Amino acid sequence: MNMDINHIANLARLELTEAEKEKYQKQLGSILNYVNKLSQAKTDGIETSDGGTRDLENIWADDISNKMFSNKEQELIKQAPAVEKGQVKVKSVF
């Protein structure tokens, strides 16, 4: 498997140690080896399964708030690691 572990770790927003990168590269290699047996399955013309539910059709909900967390915004915001003036604070992008 030509897995570029650095690229994948970056996409996954995971900082890995060098030891971890080596370990995962190896382990994922053998797991991918196992799942590659799927290439033997004949799937020409077979539809993909979208998910778990039978005959699920798209439904529309009315654009009304269910008020589950009305007046509890601050309670939720307080859960954030960094809060200022009742707002979630984040580091700068650059």
Binding residues for other proteins, per CB under 8 A?
Answer: 3, 5, 7-9, 11-16, 20, 24, 27-28, 30-32, 34-39, 41, 43, 46-54, 56, 59, 61, 68-69, 72, 75-76, 79-82, 88, 90-94
Neighbours of 16 (CB within 10 A): 17
Q: Where are the alpha helices (DSSP H) in 1-94?
A: 5-11, 18-35, 73-77
Distance, C-alpha 69 to centroid of its chain: 25
Beta carbon of residue 86, minimum distance to other proteins (angstroms, whole number): 14
How far apart CA 84 and CA 78 sit, in angstroms, is: 10
Q: Least separation, in Å, of the C-beta of 71 and other proteins?
A: 13
Helix (H, G, I), strand (E, B) or coil at 84: strand
Rounded least distance, CB 18 to other proteins, Å: 12
